[in-house]
Structure 1
């Protein structure tokens, strides 16, 4: 089996990266940055996001596992004091694959012949640089509402515990093939009105944002990436056909992760 170890880049993470590489080489596994069967991310959830984006072109062939140098995160099953257990598990090449949905975003810019395509593991957002964001929200080609406010966030089930949760969105189990639209400080009064609640859309739905004024600057994010764009005709979101593959060497139920991350044991 071929593997690659991605590091956060700090001293601790780099030391662990070197240690994991040497152990796996001792078990006759092969390092391959270009064509890994398994990518081991050492750092935090941010490092994991970077690692996944580096291999979006070979999702069907590469599985991912996270080793957290801090505390357990949503994309990390292992801690530094468990390195030997992890290495032995990998060397036996016996692991379960869990596939979870990704988000697909299509950005259409005025004057460009083809839309730009992006994938996100957590979420994609749109905001205005100055003033309120005003966009028409269409679902499956039908007008749903005219949104006015700070911005909109479209998240995957895996990303529902990230920015989406901070915005008041629902936590969705990552086995469900859905996407979620949440508002950022919408304007609701006698003149302007939005739904005011998160929308959870199934995999066969499309959600489209159409700016009322294209001659504006927008800030869009795709996970950790931020882009400033103008002349936006539309942004279309769907549950991606591609899926991310997690390598599971032991059981770590999603709701246990949620509880340990957000609920204290002290009552």
Structure 2
């Protein structure tokens, strides 16, 4: 499957058809285990920074290896969600027991897994070892402008955003809440939390996460995109720095082309709004 824009959608509604080229495949072999305080968001930002925003244009990105197998299904979603940010049409991972269990909890329909052929031909193959990977940040104004968090420590932050389709799942909210629990966000910083769906919101209420966010000083907004698309619920002011778990940080992305958007994991955003500046989440997690 792949996403479509409004023009593609209109063409499909009018004609009942869409036209695609069969993409070549870019295989990413991710070895090792992500260290404590480093998450799927850090991994995908690192990969995008390495291959650049057009490094996999019109390809299918296939992610495999020990690090991928160790991730939860929700964490894998974060990586597949951001495959488009390296130009890919989709982000694929092999079905395993975790995947099958996730699907069975949500659908009774039978499904047939699809696997890569043993003799599959790839346009490109890159191999990584991530056991020493550090938290990553994408700096304004492109997603591939990536660096380790240590390179941007201390940059003042006026707003943090936790949520969106990239990192608004219950697992993400749990990580952020574990950092914010019993603490208050910095007096000069706002925090907006946007659960990805109604299901996530209800589970977060049940687990007490919403109470944790509100007590920390956050504003919890309607499930959905939140301020990511720049239409409501947190459009930044001129000159403000925002750290967000979203998937894009283009100039004007959040509704103001005079603001600056940094991207990071939910843990990095939570740690940063406590400090009022970009912070390393390992300082509060470890």
Q: TM-score, normalised by structure 2?
A: 0.32
- Give the number of the structure whose alpha-carbon radius of gyration is greater: 1
Higher helix residue share: 2
Higher strand residue share: 1
Q: TM-score, normalised by structure 1?
A: 0.34
